[in-house]
Structure 1
Amino acid sequence: MRVLVAEDHPRVADALARGLRRDGFAVDLAPDGDQALFKARVHPYDVVVLDRDLPRLHGDDVCRTLNAEQPATKILMLTAAAALEDLVDGLALGADDYVTKPFRYAELRARIDALGRRTGDVRPTVLRRGDLELDPARHVARRAGRDLDLSPKEFGVLQVLLAAEGATVTAEQLLERVWDENVDPFTNSVRMVLVTLRRKLGEPALIETVRGVGYRL
């Protein structure tokens, strides 16, 4: 899942990004509303974690614009204002969820997971194909009952392939969904991750290379 964290306090933004990346999310950061809106128009985010009191362009304006331009993108509004009227106002602007500061990381991550499951087509909480299953919320993957020790990128690639339900996924789509904005589009990162992922999945092989197109389960 790809997430944009729009937060002007560097310590909060960096801590949240570290936690989400550790849990397998692709995370980009925006320190103000202008950059948040620009990045959201360039990259396909599943969830935008949006601080309401952003500089340059207020979070309310970012929320209104994204809600109008990208209704499928889920917005989790993050704010220090805890009054009921603030929550009502935030949801009225088009936010899909609302969390007040200070927050607990485990709760925020669970809310991001829940919003991510609501993007696009409705999908089951646990993804399964044959003897392979993946639980994004618990960050657990198993094959034939055996736990798989996957890196965050391996977990993310496997999640995208499982969600595709047998359809072919291009390398460019994997870069968009699993890597952040700093990735080199000409890199061989996808191929390298697939090499180690295939080895960890074991036999019989599950991931097929569709020559000239991409990959599928």
Structure 2
Amino acid sequence: MSRSSNVWGTVAVLVMTVGLVPLLVMASDPDPLQDFCVADPTTGVVVNGFPCKPSAKVTPWDFWSGVLKNRGITNNPNKSNVTAANVVNFPGLNTLGISAARIDFDKGGINPPHTHPRATEILIVAKGELYVGFVSTVGANNTLFATYIKEGELFVFPRGLVHFQLNVGKGPALAFAALNSQNPGAQAIAPALFQPDIKDEVLELGFRIDQKIVDQIQKEFRK
């Protein structure tokens, strides 16, 4: 084989690899290798996900859930409640790369700034009006993309970006979300920083506030 052939072969492999990178970057949960794999957490086996329930023991009820039927309790400082339907409480979702959530808001309620490290989220308003948005990492300016959405309208939050929803209507609001991971995770920004015992100087310098304010915020989140 000539040197020229080797060069073109290397170029071809490189082009194919580069072409696959966007697919790998955009992917969330891996594609399933079978029709279904109902989660069976009773086995004690630790894997990246959940082991499968024997197919002979799978029933139609493994693919049904009523977890989002009822309004969540909103008697809390946020005046909101997020009810998740993910692989933890809906075993039929295992390996399917999807989950859902119900978000109930009292008047003035907020789903505070948070992230989903493993999923993009699409939100639809079922009742009321919300102010929604996310903060982009593009450039150094932390660009905000935010707007108001009403009943029947959609908004999408890219994977891993800080986002929020605020009820700006005249009464309670309700929204439903779909996420492209069976277990997307959710990390609220403020509790993640002020509940743990992070050294005060980190919070003082990071937020440009003094120790008195740090102590006050920590006290609220550690109740």
TM-score by length of 1: 0.27
Greater Cα radius of gyration, structure 1 or 2: 2
Q: Which has more strand, going by share of residues?
A: 2
Q: Which has more helix, going by share of residues?
A: 1
